[in-house]
Amino acid sequence: MNNERTKLLLVSLGRIYGGGEIHYTRLARLLEGEADLAAVVCSPVLARMLRGAGVAVYEMPAWARDLLVLRMLFVWLTMLWCIATRRIRRVHLNGQAEAIYALPLRLLLQRVIVTRHSALTLEQSEVKRWLYRLNARFATEIVCVSSYLAQQHKPFVRKTRLAVVPNWIPEKRRTEGRREDRAPYRLIFVGRLVPEKGLADLLTAIDGMEGVELWVVGDGPFREEAEQMATGTNTTFWGFQDNPEQFYQQANLFISPSHSDGFSLVLMEAMSHGLPALVSDLPAHRELSNDGAGAMLFRCGDALDLRSKIQYLRNNPQAAESLGRAAIQIVDEHFTAERVAPLYRAVFQLP
């Protein structure tokens, strides 16, 4: 091991392998060879992915994952052990819950970086929002994955401690061989199955549509209710998939009906494949799609507007293909590893 490399500790409390955990897997690959990485994690899938990237991983034991208090205690004690034995001086906290460690880490003379992935409005509890604002003030720097999130932080975090570093596509995606004119017209939803992702709006929108099928890729607590809602529609639930690339290749239209988002990783993935996309008009979706140039927008929460625009894109394949071409250009210009790598080097103060 090269002892001259910067020592960086990655910390994640999440049990499920979602967008924030995918970000960590890509970050480890991005920094491979440039920093000495260790990670304290609670998700077994994330632990496996990080080990594959050469990271020294300290994984939460299975018997304690379901209790938040035990997870937080395990992570804190393991962080202290890593700081002492690995001589860590930089710690990255991967999200809102992890920000609770910012103050004690600063007292230990650590440089603390917090990445915010989700919109502050996603937190329904005023107490949780207040706690995050309090904890975030102690971070050395806060990385927001979109300008929209940075704007949300400006009332309580100094501008000099905010950095906007978007998510990225680690390598160029395949765009050839994608499904186009074959029947039925296939829609794809990718994401965690929770109410705020808006899957209920999509299922309502396609109810009674002839010649349309929906593929749902993902899992979560809303799955059982969603399966009941999907009765009578041509919908297939594929569950969680490590690599959904094959599903993008076999779809006609990607749909993100989310009610709240800080940066849609799955929308960026779909755009990188040149897959036409239809998304709710959230600020984060507008930012990622260049205000609708790379994805068609519909009114958030409006199932009738969503249905109308599905029908429009189905009946106007040239308009759909135009969206796909614009999407590839947006991703290639703004969301590549080459563009993001120097931003992260600056955040972590890597040589």
pLDDT in tens, 300-334: 999 999 999 999 999 999 999 999 999 999 999 99
Type of residue numbered 237: F
**Per-residue model confidence (pLDDT) at position 175:** 63
Which of the four pLDDT bands, split at 50, 70 and 90, describes residue 177? Answer: low
Residue 94 near residue 115, CB atoms below 8 Å: yes
Neighbours of 1 (CB within 10 A): 7
**Order of strands across the sheet with 296-298?**
235-239, 212-217, 185-190, 253-256, 277-280, 296-298
Which of the four pLDDT bands, split at 50, 70 and 90, describes residue 173? Answer: confident
Neighbours of 147 (CB within 10 A): 15
Residue 49 in tokens: 């992915």
Neighbours of 326 (CB within 10 A): 19
2 has a pLDDT exceeding 80: no
**Average pLDDT over every residue of 273-293:** 96
Which of the four pLDDT bands, split at 50, 70 and 90, describes residue 1? Answer: very low
Cis peptide before 317 (omega within 30 of 0): no
Class of domain 185-334: alpha beta
Say what percent of the chain tops pLDDT 70.
Answer: 96
**Average pLDDT over every residue of 262-284:** 95
180 has a pLDDT exceeding 70: no
The span from the CA of 289 to the CA of 266, in Å, is 12
Which residues make Cβ contacts (< 8 Å) with residue 133, sequence separation at least 6? 156
The span from the CA of 145 to the CA of 101, in Å, is 20
Neighbours of 177 (CB within 10 A): 8
**Average pLDDT over every residue of 129-155:** 92
Residue matched to tokens 């749902």: 216
Which of the four pLDDT bands, split at 50, 70 and 90, describes residue 149? Answer: very high
CA-based nearest residue to 17, from 199, 240, 189: 240
**Per-residue model confidence (pLDDT) at position 172:** 73
Which of the four pLDDT bands, split at 50, 70 and 90, describes residue 60? Answer: very high
**Per-residue model confidence (pLDDT) at position 176:** 60
Helix 317-334 vs helix 303-315: angle between axes, to the nearest 10 degrees?
100
The span from the CA of 89 to the CA of 108, in Å, is 9
**Per-residue model confidence (pLDDT) at position 42:** 94
**Average pLDDT over every residue of 95-118:** 93
**What is the rounded average pLDDT for all residues in the chain?**
92
Residue matched to tokens 């480890």: 28
Which of the four pLDDT bands, split at 50, 70 and 90, describes residue 3? Answer: low
* Alpha helices in the chain, H assignment, sequence order: 19-30, 44-52, 68-86, 102-107, 126-136, 147-153, 199-206, 223-229, 245-249, 265-272, 283-288, 303-315, 317-334, 337-347
> pLDDT of 183-240, one tens digit each?
799 999 999 999 999 999 999 999 999 999 999 999 999 999 999 999 999 999 999 9
SS3 content of the chain, % helix, strand, coil (to 5): 45, 20, 35
**Per-residue model confidence (pLDDT) at position 154:** 92
CATH superfamily assigned to domain 6-168+336-347: Glycogen Phosphorylase B; (3.40.50.2000)
**Per-residue model confidence (pLDDT) at position 179:** 60
The more confident residue out of 5 and 295 is 295
Lowest mean pLDDT among 105-109, 136-140, 169-173: 169-173
> pLDDT of 25-39, one tens digit each?
999 999 998 999 999
Type of residue numbered 238: W
Q: What residue spans in the chain does CATH classification 3.40.50.2000 cover?
A: 6-168+336-347, 185-334
